[in-house]
């Protein structure tokens, strides 16, 4: 398949994205939005020092983000390396929280395809509900789009019933035109979700970059009738930012995408500020963060 370049109006995207930072959401709408944001969060532990104890803590935090469970829902998923998938499945059994696994040589993707596919197969065999793969950015930036497409399609095939999230690392790709192109390639080759970043570099998610991807999802839906999910990841830390993203999703894609099935936040540190804000709305006082699970 030949992939055509899509020209993105950079000035227009930046101006429209900036408008979402100026919206004021209060009262019941704010409370609803904050709880919705919690239900869309993927909590992650992706370090070389990950232990069973750290995983147990993360799973408990995902199931019960606040001291009083009635105040907010559970998170959407816990995301771990493949070797921790089996243990996470046991810890989360019956909770409704999904287990996601970064595979395909996260975060670089710099190993042969068959090795990456074996990693996906292992994660799926351990019970992963979702696979977060990274594209071969070197191939993409070098213009080898057929290779990128083939690898996404190959990963999707070995995912089986597990949903596939395709990570672009937008901070490395850079230009909006290229981000839109990566979005189109991923969607046309089986991605269930498109995702901005690994969270491992400083230039991660942003409103303008996410808007480019959301508009790609919108256009793909108009062309095919297929709904693709979106996951901004990295750098989203405050409740105010989370609400800005939700407004952007609603105004770009509509209410159908305001669900964990089609939108996720990859931002573990975001949970603390959002739950503090929910507590403030509930009893009128800012809580001490010592009483909340920290990322």
pLDDT in tens, 86-137: 999 999 999 999 999 999 888 888 889 999 999 999 999 999 999 999 999 9
∠ Cα 16 10 40 (to 5°) = 55
Q: Where are the domains of the chain?
A: 10-284
Its pTM stands at: 0.92
Q: What is each CA distance from 235 to 58, 153, 199, in whole angstroms?
A: 19, 29, 7
Confidence of residue 292 (pLDDT cuts 50, 70, 90): low
- Residue 1 is predicted with a pLDDT of 64
Average pLDDT in the chain: 92
Give catalytic status of residue 231 as yes or no: yes
Out of 132, 165, 178, 273, the active site residue is 132
CATH no. of 10-284:
3.20.20.70
- pLDDT reading at 289 higher than 70: no
The catalytic residue among 35, 61, 178, 195 is 195
Residue 226 makes CB contacts below 8 A (sequence gap 6+) with: 187, 220
Given 61, 165, 178, 231, which residue is catalytic? 231
pLDDT average, residue stretch 218-223: 97
Q: What phi, psi does 166 have (nearest 5°)? A: -105, 120
């Amino acid at each position: 398949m030949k992939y055509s370049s899509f020209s993105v109006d950079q000035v227009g995207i930046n101006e429209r994205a900036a408008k979402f930072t100026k919206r004021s959401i209060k009262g019941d709408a704010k409370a609803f939005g904050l709880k919705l944001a919690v239900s869309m969060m993927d909590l992650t532990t992706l370090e070389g020092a990950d232990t069973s104890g750290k995983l147990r803590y993360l799973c408990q935090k995902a199931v019960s983000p606040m001291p009083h469970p009635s105040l907010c829902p559970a998170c959407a998923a816990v995301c771990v390396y493949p070797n921790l998938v089996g243990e996470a499945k046991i810890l989360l059994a019956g909770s409704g929280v999904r287990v996601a696994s970064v595979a395909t040589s996260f975060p670089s993707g710099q190993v042969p395809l068959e090795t990456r596919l074996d990693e996906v197969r292992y994660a799926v065999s351990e019970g992963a509900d979702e696979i977060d793969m990274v594209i071969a950015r070197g191939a993409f930036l070098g213009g080898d789009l057929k290779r990128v497409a083939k690898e996404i399609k190959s990963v999707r095939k070995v995912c089986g019933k597990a949903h596939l999230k395709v990570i672009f690392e937008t901070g490395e790709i850079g230009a909006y035109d290229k981000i839109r192109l990566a979005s189109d390639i991923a969607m046309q080759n089986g991605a269930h979700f498109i995702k901005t970043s690994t969270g491992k570099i400083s230039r991660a998610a942003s409103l303008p970059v996410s808007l480019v991807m959301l508009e790609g999802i919108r256009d793909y839906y108009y062309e095919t009738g297929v709904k693709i999910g979106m996951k901004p990841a990295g750098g989203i830390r405050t409740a105010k930012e989370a609400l800005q993203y939700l407004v952007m999703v609603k105004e770009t894609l509509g209410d159908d995408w305001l669900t964990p099935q089609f939108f996720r936040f990859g931002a573990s540190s975001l949970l603390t500020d959002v739950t503090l804000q929910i507590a403030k709305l509930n009893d009128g006082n800012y809580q001490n963060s010592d009483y909340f699970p920290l990322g």
